[in-house]
Structure 1
Amino acid sequence: MTNSLVAEPEILFEKRGRAGIITLNRPKALNALSGTMVSLMHPQMVAWASDDSVELVIIRAAGEKAFSAGGDIRELHEWGIAKDPAMRVFYREEYILNTYIKEYPKPYVALIEGIMMGGGAGVAVHGSHRVVGERLMFAMPETGIGFFPDVGGTYFLPRMPGKVGTWLALTTARLGQSDALWGGIATHAVASADMDAVLDALCADGNPDKTLARFATTPQAGPTQAVLDVINRCFAADTVEEILARLDAETGDHAEWAQKQAAMMRAKSPTSLKIALRQMQDGAKADFEECMRIEYRIVTRIADGTDFYEGVRAVIIDKDNAPKWQPATLEAVSDADVDAYFAPLPDELDLSNPAQF
């Protein structure tokens, strides 16, 4: 008799008590979102929306390290290099899913522990309830791989306090539990040890407001709040070049902090930095669906460029952390170059019915 290995499903669905539960199930890959996971999650949510026995939907993740470290970058990189249309299909389906979560007719509760970045944020932060444990590490690191803070980052980042969202987008800085709660990424903080009990109570009660009020904690102020004045002063500038100039000129107690932020920015793709700043400026004035259409325009152009593939090579594949960006300097990225990423497409993202792919 021969033994055959059966692969674990990448995403799991179950009904427990009053809840429908989604479990991201790729712990060895830090629950990175694959095309399969996105394509399965959406129709299940549609089915639960019309199921009277499901009063709320809960999303969680297997393992202790990560809720989700983002999209499956290797998969996307391979598609893009091969000019496979699957890459654009993935982003179209992902952005429609993000929109459906934002508009979902029932409570949508994300139980978030460990790493949450990029695409992981996209299936969490647009829900009605975002519950974070003490081990949370949130970031939008896309400019470091020649990409941009998508999955609704155009909408939710500019709506964080002051210029915190712009700072996160340009530096790829990280937030812990307290700052995520203060900044609006999370709606509730709980003790990590209580996360399983929170899940059980949500399934039993079917009332997330009542349940989460019982478990919610008030963590001490996080480090971001202490530098908010510097963030607002420096990242309010209209251009990336001026932001860097203000960081370089910072003196006093936070001068060393400012120098670190400038150094992080200078390691990123110049094109990505300028795209991200424009996102923050445009997104602050746009509704959610327009923000998602903007992102689809950008990702379509990025897929035809070079920096994303070079960034993934340097950071994830070869791991030499020495990307050769094209163009290599901020000065070489013109306003017209940036405008081209935001120009309307012949086939815009259709969000007229986000309940359908």
Structure 2
Amino acid sequence: MSAPGTESAQVSTIVEEDPVLFRVDRGVGRITLNRPRQINAFDHRMVKLVEPVLAEWAEDPEVRFLIIDGAGERGFCAGGDVKAIYSDAKSGGRGAIDYWRDEYHVDAAVARFPKPVLTLMDGIVMGGGVGLAGHASHRVVTERSMVGMPETGIGLIPDVGGTYLLGRTPGQLGLHVGLTGGRMTAGDAIALGFADHFVPSDKLPDLIEKATTHGIPAALAEFVEPAPESELLAEREWIDRCYSAPTAVDIVAALQDAPEPAAAKAATAISRVSPTSVTVTLRAIRAMRAAGGTLEQALNLEFGLCSHALDTPDLAEGIRAQVVDKDRNPQWTPATLAEVGNVDAWFAPPATELPFPDAPPVPTDMLEK
């Protein structure tokens, strides 16, 4: 049985105004995020639409595999429902808790989907977009791809499985991306394990058609091209050296003392984002790297950290500065890394049920590099 509103033998009639478009085309389940003006930001309404369709298509014998993409030319997905989170952070509301839990269920469902999932990470792919696309079995980037986890810039931590991916990068590259909130090119995304294949953007329609008619392996064999070189991978020596320092304060000092110009830029980037978020993110990524934990463990860890962030001033202030007022001048509390102090309270279990209650907790009382 196909999902409601779809037909297994042909593209179904869809309502173009719907925030997510679902159809089954010749046995291929198609999911298209459809908010191009918002660069397909993945809000709670969309999450609730996607989750039951994934569950149904997982059991539908007529659906051979999935393709997930985004409408418009600007990007696959700019992130999650930041403005709703801002409202909760300002008012003390808890709706964001339910949003995160549901979103993480979708991220894990994509990762554990029993059939292949091809995600087209064209253009901007940030935050929640990484959660939806970055755990799929076949992840394609293009020359237009800009992939990142910019959460430290809004007083949050890399979530949607971000600590899982960042904890598995070569050397200390994950810490560099996670702490600075920097963007990855297509070559970087592949080198760091956020994507698998490079396909020029003008070949994506042909890739989809070939995959639909002949399967994903045949399509990739025809259209994948060598990925551009990764600038981050080429800079790994100084990144590994500087980010191996024991604390966030020490990391910034090492970056400032390094002779490489890019290191000084990284130090400046870290100095502009939330000091508390940097400190917590450093510990979370190192904990996931040391534990080698599952995606579900990472999502539980991140759920607790995000829940705690709702009660801190930096989340509302960061979203205000970056998204609401757009003055790009957040006033962090505390204002510097040296003032952050102990963050143990962030890693205490949240007061509400975890997204994956059966997953064992990740040990976080260590500072493994």
| TM-score (norm: length of structure 2) | 0.90
SS in 2 for 1:198: helix
What is the CA–CA distance in structure 2 between the aligned matches of 1:79 and 1:332, rounded to whole Å?
A: 26
Matched, 1:262 2:271: no
Q: Render the CA deviation track for 1:46-89: whole Å, top value 9, x for unaligned.
A: 01001101010110000011110101211221233233332111
1:114 has 2:119 as partner:
no
1:341 aligns to 2:341 (yes or no): no
The 3 A distance-change label for structure 1 pair 350 and 34 is: closer
* Displacement of 1:225: 2.1
The answer to whether structure 1 residue 165 and structure 2 residue 171 are counterparts is: no
Corresponding letter in the other structure for 2:249: E
Matches within 5 A, 1:176-215: 176-205=185-214, 207-215=215-223
User: Does the CA contact (< 8 Å) of 1:293 and 1:348 recur in 2?
Assistant: no
Q: For the residues of structure 2 that align with 1:246 and 1:71, how far apart are their CA atoms? A: 33
* Corresponding position of 1:324: 331
Q: Shift of the alpha carbon at 1:19?
A: 0.7
Matching residue of 1:145: 154
Secondary structure of the corresponding residue to residue 12 of structure 1: strand
One-letter amino acid of the counterpart of residue 261, structure 1 = A
Residue number in structure 1 paired with 2:295: 288
Aligned to 1:103: 112
Q: What is the aligned partner in structure 2 of residue 3 from structure 1?
A: none
The code of the aligned residue for 2:307 comes to: T
Which structure carries more relative contact order (alpha carbon 8 Å, separation 6+)? 1
Distance change (3 Å), C-alpha of 1:131 and 1:340: same
Work out the number of aligned pairs and report it: 343
2:118·2:136 contact (CA, 8 Å) conserved in 1? Answer: yes
Are 2:308 and 2:350, in contact at CA under 8 Å, matched by a contact in 1?
no
Question: Which secondary structure state, in structure 2, belongs to the residue aligned with residue 138 of structure 1?
Answer: strand
In structure 2, how many angstroms separate the alpha carbons of the residues matched to 1:117 and 1:315?
A: 14
Contact 1:270 1:327 in 2 (8 A): yes
Q: Unmatched 5+ residue regions in structure 1?
A: 1-5
**3-state SS, counterpart of residue 331 of structure 1:** helix
Deviation, 1:314, is 1.1
- Note the C-alpha offset of 1:7: 8.2
- 2:362 aligns to what? none
Shift of 1:223: 1.5
- Quick one: which amino acid aligns to residue 33 of structure 2? L
Moved more, 74-83 or 20-29: 74-83
Aligned pair partner of 1:245 in 250, 253, 264: 253
CA-CA distance at 1:353 after TM superposition: 8.7
Residues 303 and 355, structure 2, Cα contact 8 Å, conserved in 1? no
- Residue of structure 1 equivalent to 2:241: 233
TM-score (norm 1): 0.93
Please give the root-mean-square deviation of Cα atoms over the aligned residues, in Å. Answer: 1.6
- 1:24-63 equivalences under 5 Å are 24-63=33-72
Contact 1:68-1:115 at 8 Å conserved across structures: yes
The residue identity in structure 2 corresponding to 1:126 is: H
Residue number among 307, 318, 340 corresponding to 1:300 in the alignment = 307
Percent identical among aligned pairs is 38
Q: SS of the residue aligned with 1:122?
A: helix
Q: Is 1:234–1:243's contact at 8 Å kept on the other side of the alignment?
A: yes
Partner of 1:165: helix, strand, or coil?
helix
**Residue in structure 2 matched with residue 309 of structure 1 by the alignment:** 316
Match of 2:229 in 1: 221
Which consecutive segments of 4 or more residues in structure 1 shift more than 6 A? none
Paired residue secondary structure (1:260) = helix
Alignment pair present for 1:69 and 2:78? yes
Kindly provide the amino acid, as one letter, of the partner of residue 298 in structure 2: C
Amino acid at match of 1:29: Q
Q: Give the Cα–Cα distance (whole angstroms) in 2 for the partners of residues 290 and 228 of structure 1.
A: 28
Confirm or deny that 1:21 pairs with 2:30: yes
In the alignment, the residues of structure 1 paired with residue 212 and residue 222 of structure 2 have an alpha-carbon distance, to the nearest angstrom, of 14
| Alignment CA distance shift 1:141-1:31 (3 Å) | same
Q: Distance in 1 between matches of 2:299 and 2:318?
A: 23
Q: Is this contact kept in 2: 1:169–1:276, CA < 8 A?
A: yes
Q: CA deviation at 1:222?
A: 2.5
Q: Which runs of 5+ in 2 are unaligned?
A: 1-14, 360-369
CA distance in 1, matches of 2:337, 2:355: 33
